[in-house]
Structure 1
Amino acid sequence: MYKMIIVDDEDEVREGVKQLTNWERCGFELVGDFSNGRDALEAVERLRPDVVITDINMPYMDGMELAAHLNAMYRELKVVILTGYEDFDYAKQAIKLKVKDYLLKPINLQEFTEFLLKMKRELSEEQARMEDMAVLQQRLNESFPLLRERFLHKLVTIPMTENDIHQKLLDFRQVLDGPDYLAMLMDLEEPDEQSGSSSYGDSELLRFAMHNIAQEVIQEEHGGIVFQAGHDKSVALLGGTAEEIAIQAQKLASHVGEAVRKYLKRDVSIGIGSIYPTRTKLRLSYQEASSALDYRFLLGAGSIISIHDVEFGKRTSTPSYYEFEKKLMAAVKTAKAAQASDILGDWFSELKQSGAAPGSCYSYLHRILAAFINMIAQTGFDDSKVLGDDPFSNIPTLKSIEQMKGWLDETCRGVIAFLSEQRTHVNHTQLEDALLYINDNYSSPELSLQQVCQHVFLSLSYFSSLFKQHTGDTFVEYLTRLRLEKAKQLLVATQLKAYDVAERVGYADPQYFSVIFKRHIGMTPKDYRARMREKVPS
């Protein structure tokens, strides 16, 4: 059963369609109907429909503007324009917005039913195509040539000259134009315990299906490059101006995650590296994207994680360590003290069994301590606050393997506690700055979530998650509540007309202000002013 919403400012049109249509027979569930595009846009995130049928001429937000927003935010959503003959030119323009189809008013029940049945068949065919593992298996066998994959893997893992990169891209017919560049790393999450486990073959096929979706969304539709890193992850490379890439990376990551959840019923975690001015630095962006993925243990499976959301200050390239050191650094960065302790325990057991010389053990401790200092420096903090002014002076005092293990375990816990505290403090400061900015600018009708995120230098998805945790409200809910509280104060304390109050609290449309005020307060601004003044003793 597919979900649908209808948007039309004519009540009789919506009611007629609702009452006369046999929705179940047509394979649809009508989950909502709205009288304007603004209300419909807010409801899409909550209702997650498969199809939106919208009129063109409506108050507050017309159907064309609604279609543009939906096309930008929800790649899989189908939009159908409902129009009269006099608006047919608008319907033709809507094709540019990737509108699926259009319907002419007045709606004929038989034609509408046939349209729904046709739409159901198309949706089912699309679903079947994406879920057909046999087709995916065939596409896996016909995947890109091995040499292309090897070159792209080298591009993000070892130093290459700009001339070599340019020539190889031409040889493999790959386009990646700048002037700036960024890497993303995508990893399909394993199913939870309730959904059961998959066999190795199914897991491989699902990973290829994720890769196929990423190629379609990022490479085929937006001109990036997508390839597989080993057998378990996919890499995306984007080029353009820094401003374009910053926005596009978050948008494309969201589209990939939405499509994977819809078609594969899995979550995908996506790490996003920094933007660099040359293709030779893509390997640094890739390393940062990989590092960002480590933080999914803090933020949860299915997260979109930009390196700038979780690590503060200017980063440098990560040096290469032994395998156990890499695991230890990942555990420390993600604040998993118990896991870090287990890694240390296994390593020291191996040192005992191998009969490692004391000099080698002291060398390892110096190396790990240097890694801690480097990690703290990369996050923008002062390492002396947790490690002291001369942490290396402690190492010669350790006289046994057990003393080394105990000291290093204690040091790990201290670094984890310090980074967790600093990260919490930085996030709190950024959120308080965001709230101050909102309170200073709520009267501007142009105030948006994107503006606030740019002000505090956080991505949309990460800021939205932090903001909800911090305030208990979404950005729209918080801003609406703030504006209405300010409006209530002005209505009681001044003689301003309702339209002047609306303008002062950030609503350019007085009529829409009245609708929102009544929806949340339960009465019109005029009635509220009269009610409050009745309560004031004369």
Structure 2
Amino acid sequence: MIRTLIVDDEKMPREMIKRYGSWDEYGMEIVGEADDGLEALRLIEARSPQLVITDMRMPGADGLELLGILNERYPETKVIVVSGYDDFTYLKQAIRCKAKDYILKPIDPKELNAALLKCKNELESSRVIYREQFTLQIDFLQIAKGYKPALASYYNRLDVSGIRDTFQELLRQLGNAEAEQARMQDRIYQEFIVLLRELMIANSQTVEGFRFEIDEAALQSYERLLSDVTKLYLLAMNQLEEHRKYRRKLNLPEIKHYVEANFCKPITLEQIASAFFVSKEYLSRAFKNEFRQNLSDYILQLRMEKSKALLLEGKLPIKAIAESCGYEELAYFYRVFKKHYGIAPGEMRKER
């Protein structure tokens, strides 16, 4: 089945696309819907759609940004643009980013299905020619992506040894994969550079002026690539350490932003205090004085709100929800959730 993602900030166009498309006939399945570009990127990362149907004008990250990122990071993904604007600027960007079609609203079923059929034929043709190589590429990317949570955790804690060891372990795995025909250096580089940008932004670092590029020669081998990427991470971490260590006073809005960006990971008060070079007692007291709430309670609040939202969506198993909200032990998550809401997670899902 061809995995398809629909992106539009309005529900009605999404429903029309679902209703008009010949999904079963073309061997396609809708694996998700998003109402803005940021949510679309999260779903693309999680579900790897082969086809994205997107609107252009949306709040947050719009279709223009999404097209650019898809073209840069997921060039094999087919894109159909559905827009209510007959705008040459949008059309030009769609062409530049290799969109397969540009359909104007209101949606014509024949036009939509002609575009779907075109994407189906191209994907099947590519699948026949590159099936073996594509599988190897996905394997390599999945290996690399599996290290991202650990890297994020070590970065936020300023753990230099953890960063070095993680990249070394990744190098060992890639070297043992014995699939030299699947050279994925550029894609792997993009994965880790995007992660580094996200980590810097989440830690209130300035990305403008930071040199993310590496020498072209570094893309010829995994050893050189990961060595250069490690250096970029360590340079960014050094800047972060200077930023945290030598400022005159504790920046509490920055710490709140840090927590909001990282509460889905198993962070603790001790780890946050250590990362910002203060004692946990001082951090806890300062946070409560500023925001009238204990830091631990704030982390709990964020996790409970997210877990409740995911439960009511009804798409993920409860174990996956617990892990995605920073709880490694399912039994502990059950106890915390029931204490907070007065009802077990499974019971809340049944009552929705």
Q: Shorter-chain TM-score category?
A: 0.3 to 0.5
Bigger RCO (CA 8 Å, 6+ sep): 2
The normalised TM-score by structure 1 is 0.32
Q: Calculate the TM-score normalised by the size of structure 2.
A: 0.47
